[in-house]
Amino acid sequence: MKKLIVALDVNSFKKAKKLVNTLTPYVDIFKIGSELFTSCGPAVISYINGKKRKVFLDLKFHDIPNTVASSARAAARHGVFMFNIHASGGYDMMRMAQAAVKDETKRLKIKKPVVLGVTVLTSEKKKDTAKEVVRLAKLSKKACLDGVVCSAGETKRVKKACGRKFIVVNPGVRPERAAKNDQKRITTPREAVRNGADFIVVGRPITQARSPVSAAKRISEEMAA
């Protein structure tokens, strides 16, 4: 399940720990979003790292370049596997963030996290969404980011524009028959992988399932089909 990222969209350390403990034998990467991080702070990152699992810190930094660069340094110090910033923040913001991460990890002699640009949120649907996603992906690559976050529907276009090695993470992935919730641009795990996604993010269909382990296994099977 190395392509699967489980979103810990819960509001307490206790709930997050329970999910991590349950899924750790089957899931390699967990996403920490703004709700959980605001509730628990860095402690939840340390807990997941202590379980020998990886963290996708999903805080979508977006501010003036110096502020985002400082936030990027802090994320790197926490030892996260990947984190994201809003590509709409512009070239200078993204370039400075990546440079700060490289400098900080070199100074500390630790592995550099993957830095992603967030293109267009999957809760949004615009007339020219695909065109805007590709524009922001190309800008992210120019700023030397490692990849982007986009919906599965734009993955092929992003890979064509930015190259196969440019990492693409697909949120808004729902297994067959799952509810859409607040997502508008969604797809199934099978479709996402076939379109070229390097990682997919799944939250509620796993975390709110009667058996999170069974749900994660089913999604893994869908991805491999």
Question: Exactly one of 3, 31, 60, 141 is catalytic; which is it?
Answer: 60
- Listed in sequence order, the DSSP H helices in the chain are 13-23, 34-40, 43-50, 65-77, 91-108, 129-142, 152-162, 189-194, 204-207, 212-224
For residue 115 the two structure tokens come to 């830095």
- Give yes or no for a contact between 84 and 62, defined as CB atoms under 8 angstroms apart: no
Find, among 178, 170, 136, 137, the residue nearest to 153 by Cα: 170
Confirm whether 138 is a catalytic residue: no
Give the sign of the dihedral formed by CA 83, CA 77, CA 51, CA 41.
Answer: negative
- Give yes or no for a contact between 152 and 197, defined as CB atoms under 8 angstroms apart: yes
Catalytic residues: 60
